[in-house]
């Protein structure tokens, strides 16, 4: 019975979806960037975390893996789209006030996210300073300010960044955007 099932399965083979080689290379180049923050951590660092792109974790970004053709299939892409849609409709995220900007930010993300906690006491505490580094798709200061500095619900800046790329988030944390590398960092 098992042999018959395998024989039928082997005979019914759909053509495997293909993955665009250029898309794969772009994804690899963007997500495989060297860890910038890790090389600049102060001595008082108590925690460091590097998170890959959330879409890369879900297999939505081709990365040169053997599973890329399967992950490029219509059913998988439909499942990833349903996850994105569910995140956009999640009541908890909406109540926290992050639903309006979380998915657009994730769409603009072009690198892993690096996060570190720095505390002179050597242990995480409420007074620890959080450092964050990520790269976005915006290729200039004007594009960054247009995307994140406007007066809509997407705005998370206190004001548009200045000519040097410096400014503050709406919660008061300092922020720097380097247009040349497209890197966004909290100091």
Sequence-separated (6 or more) residues with CB below 8 Å from residue 124: 46, 47, 117
Q: Rounded distance, CA 182 to CA 137, Å?
A: 7
Average pLDDT across the chain, whole number: 76
Report pTM.
0.66
pLDDT tens digits along 122-151: 888 888 888 989 888 888 999 988 887 755
Distance CA 62, CA 56 (A): 8
Residue 56: both structure tokens together:
């890369």
pLDDT tens per residue across span 30-69: 666 667 788 888 899 999 998 876 666 666 666 666 777 7
Q: How far is CA 142 from CA 50, 163, 176, 186, in A?
A: 28, 9, 14, 19
List the Cα angle 85/149/169 in 5-degree steps: 90
Tokens at 57, concatenated: 């974790």
**Nearest-angstrom CA–CA distance, 62 and 103:** 19
Give the total residue count for the chain: 187
8-state DSSP, 175: E
Round to the nearest angstrom and report the end-to-end CA distance of the chain.
Answer: 64
Sign of dihedral through CA atoms 163, 168, 173, 179? negative
Structure tokens at 98: 């992050």
pLDDT confidence bin for 165, thresholds 50/70/90: very high
């Amino acid at each position: 019975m098992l042999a018959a099932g395998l024989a039928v399965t082997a005979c019914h083979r759909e053509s495997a979806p293909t993955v665009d080689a250029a898309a794969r290379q772009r994804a690899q180049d963007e997500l495989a960037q060297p860890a910038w923050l890790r090389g600049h951590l102060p001595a008082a660092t108590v925690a460091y975390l590097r998170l890959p792109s959330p879409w890369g974790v879900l297999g939505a970004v081709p990365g040169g893996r053997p599973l890329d053709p399967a992950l490029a299939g219509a059913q998988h892409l439909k499942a990833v789209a349903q996850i994105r849609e569910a995140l956009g409709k999640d009541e908890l995220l909406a109540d926290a006030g992050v639903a309006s900007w979380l998915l657009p930010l994730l769409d603009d993300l072009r690198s892993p996210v690096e996060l570190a906690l720095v505390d002179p006491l050597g242990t995480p505490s409420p007074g620890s300073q959080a450092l964050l580094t990520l790269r976005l798709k915006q290729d200039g200061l004007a594009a960054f300010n247009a995307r994140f500095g406007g007066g809509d619900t997407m705005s998370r800046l206190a004001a548009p960044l200045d000519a040097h790329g410096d400014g503050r988030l709406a919660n008061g944390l300092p922020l720097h955007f380097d247009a040349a590398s497209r890197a966004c960092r909290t100091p």
